[in-house]
Amino acid sequence: MELTATTTVRRPVAEVYAFWRLLENLPTFMEHLDEVRTTDEKTSTWTASAPFDRTVVWEALVIEDVVEERIAWRSTEQADVPNEGAVSFLPAPAGAGTEVHVHLVYDVEAGKLGKAVAKYFGEEPHQQLDDDLRRLKQVLEAGEVVRSDGAPWGKQARKEFPQHPAQPMTAEERREVLGA
Amino acid sequence: MRANCWAGRDEVEVREVPDPAVLNSRDAIVRITSTAICGSDLHLLDGYVPTMQDGDVMGHEFMGEVVEVGPGVDPTRLRVGDRVVVPFPIACGACAACAAQLYSCCENSNPNAGIAEKMFGHPVAGIFGYSHLTGGFAGGQAQYARVPFADVGPLKIESELTDEQVLFLSDILPTGYMGAEMCDIQPSDVVAVWGAGPVGQFAMDSARVLGAASVIAIDKEPYRLRMAEEAGHIPVNFEEVDVRSRLLELSGGRGPDKCIDAVGMEATHGSAHIHAFDRVKQAVRSETDRPHVLRQAIMSCRSGGIVSVIGVYGGTVDKFPAGAWMNRSLTLRTGQCHVQRYMTPLLRRIERGELDPTRVITHRLPLEEAPRGYAVFKNKQEDCEKVVLTP
């Protein structure tokens, strides 16, 4: 499964590149990622939610890093769902910020979990990546992922409809959603 | 707290709901002192805007006192105790749309941008109390509201002006004004405004303030036409006269130079069979909007003129007169109001006495009577023009 998406972020290329290069930042806007921990300059451990409340963990390797231009990575051999990705940063016209071009490949043919992941992505697999990039914009331009009463989860677009009604959450619901 | 909630098609209900809390760092919580029912709330009530859910708190015109701010709110912009009017579009102030002052197209404030994108091609800003398509934000027909990006939108009121004088800066006064501003009004202009509801009335007043030679009000409710006439505008009742002939008479045979659609998707029509056509198409959802006013404005406008649309449309329309629009060099301008752009200049006009927003208020009700307010406003009973609610 191959996904591409593009957005423009109204921040300088250097800042957008630096934010992405610190891979720990990815879970702030990528829905399926719970955590990324870098182990050295090129290697990192990624934790993601998988279907049926499963968690998958894999090691990834940065295979290309051109400062303020491009970052590419791929999972190492042991990954349940082999995957790779690349992101390019281009100056937007008229000094309007940074174009972010993302390309992701998931090998969903490999094994049962891969098939479950393909199903999880559903008929519109690009939707999740589009929403991830919308949240990247929110984080970089507005400081954080925006929450509403109807969509208090912020990150999780697939809870789009039906949602929590557009009325304030109870204290208990708030604890559950915000974990606070 | 008490809040007026959507309870299904044609039904609103004042219910007990949880108090709002800060969810994002730049939120403020506002204790609402005045709020209003908008014509566009009726589109939600009637079920013509999709993605409403039972329990959604209604209302996008409100003001009050800041009682709490999140840790990220710039204290030089907003503090606890400030008296504020809250603009209906939620805007981050940092994206390309906000930088271009297109606040109602803010790229970051709508967590349901994906839904909006499917309907509109590109997403639109979050709006308070205005369906999940525009974010699923609880509205302001309530005792309290959570206001995101509180250091961007809310306008501080530091003078002694009453709530009623400034409340409509939240939506209908800027919306009417933008309708007139988009007309690029020249001193010789005849401006025709379809719809003598509150937004139409403010579009007429704004056209006059911006220097139009004459302003025409088109409606069928005698009390609304009377209200427009008392404010100095020329009434035309579409149930009594042929609109096109009357407009030609009033513009030396040229047609109005500028036309404003302040009605939108639920227009009624003097001609029964065309109204029935749109009504049926809308009922079976093969057309979401009844665009009668838009058609008539385009057909009426003089060649080379401007048709400005501030009435709300939600989806698709049928029988759009593309030929008239194209062949007669008409310009079509529109947008959900970019309220933040207009709040301060319009506050100054209110202070100087150039605009009197209170003139449209006919009903003052406690929040608990919101359902009655919706009923009289929708059914145009008791000569209802504008309902202000007090929590």
Closest partner residue to B107 (CB to CB) among A137, A166, A174 is A137
Whole-angstrom distance, CA of residue B51 vs CA of residue A147: 17
pLDDT given for residue A104 in this prediction: 94
On whether both A109 and A61 belong to a single domain, the answer is yes
| Cβ within 8 Å of residue B337, ≥6 positions away | B88, B89, B104, B171, B174, B175, B178, B310
Kindly tell me the burial class for residue B159, based on how many C-beta atoms sit within 10 Å of its own C-beta (0-12, 13-18, 19 or more).
Answer: exposed
Measured between beta carbons, which residues in chain B are less than 8 angstroms from residue A138?
92, 108
Query: Mind giving me the DSSP string for A53-120?
Result: TEEEEEEEEEEEEETTTEEEEEE-TT-SS-EEEEEEEEEPGGG--EEEEEEEEE-TTSHHHHHHHHHH
CA distance A90 to chain B (A): 16
Asked if B108's CB is within 8 angstroms of A137's CB, the reply is: yes
The mean pLDDT value of chain A amounts to 89
Of the candidates A137, A157, A167, the beta carbon closest to that of B56 is on A167
Which residues from A are below 8 Å from B when comparing CB atoms?
Answer: 8, 10, 96-97, 127, 130-131, 134, 137-138, 141-144, 146-152, 154, 157, 160-171, 174, 178
Q: What is the pLDDT of residue B329?
A: 98
Considering only CB atoms, A151 lies closest to which of B57, B92, B136, namely B136
Quick one: A128 and A173 in the same domain?
no
Q: Which residues of A touch B136 (CB under 8 A)?
A: 148-151, 163-164, 166
β-strand partners of A43: A61
Domain shared by A159 and A113, yes or no: no
- Looking at domain B173-334, its CATH superfamily turns out to be NAD(P)-binding Rossmann-like Domain (3.40.50.720)
- pLDDT < 50 stretches in chain B: none
ipTM of predicted assembly, 2 dp: 0.91
Inter-chain residue contact B24 with A127, CB threshold 8 Å: no
- Summarize pLDDT for A15-53 with one digit per residue, the tens: 999 999 999 999 999 988 999 999 999 999 999 887 777
Residue of A nearest to B55 (CA): A165
The pLDDT tens digits for A92-131 are 998 889 999 999 998 887 777 777 777 766 667 788 889 8
Indicate the fold that domain B2-170+340-390 takes in CATH. Answer: Quinone Oxidoreductase; Chain A, domain 1 (3.90.180)
Query: Would the CB atoms of B136 and A134 count as touching at under 8 Å?
Result: no
Same domain, A83 and A171: no
Tokens of B288: 């979401």
pLDDT of residue B131: 94
Please state the domain count of chain A: 2
- Across the interface, of A10, A130, A137, the residue whose CB is closest to B114 is A130
3-state secondary structure of B210: coil
pLDDT for the residue numbered B49:
81
Q: Is residue B17 a contact partner of residue B146, using CB atoms and an 8 Å limit?
A: no
The helix or strand, by DSSP H or E, that contains position B228, with its residue range, turns out to be: helix B222-230
Can you give the three-state secondary structure of B240-296, one letter per residue? CCCHHHHHHHCCCCCCCCEEEECCCCECCCCCHHHHHHHHHHHHCCCCCCECHHHHH
Q: What pLDDT score was predicted for residue B287?
A: 64
What pLDDT score does B286 carry?
A: 59
| Amino acid B50: pLDDT | 82
Across the interface, do A168 and B21 touch by the CB < 8 Å criterion?
A: yes
Q: Break chain B into its structural domains and give their ranges.
A: 2-170+340-390, 173-334
Look at residue A125 in the predicted model and tell me its pLDDT: 76
Indicate the burial class of A94 (C-beta count within 10 angstroms; 0-12, 13-18, 19 or more).
Answer: exposed
pLDDT tens digit string along B15-56? 999 999 999 999 999 999 999 999 999 989 988 888 899 999
pLDDT attached to residue A179: 73
What per-residue confidence (pLDDT) applies to B222? 97
Task: Please give the residue range of the domain that contains residue A170.
Answer: 147-180
Q: Are B25 and B72 in contact (CB under 8 A)?
A: yes
Task: Let me know whether A121 and A154 are in one domain.
Answer: no
Residue-level pLDDT at A71? 98
The residue of chain B with its CA nearest to that of A92 is B96
Alpha-carbon distances of B246 from A114, A140, B155, B216, B243, rounded to whole Å: 69, 55, 41, 10, 5
Q: Distance between CA atoms of B286 and B282, rounded to whole angstroms?
A: 6
- Quote the pLDDT of residue B290: 77
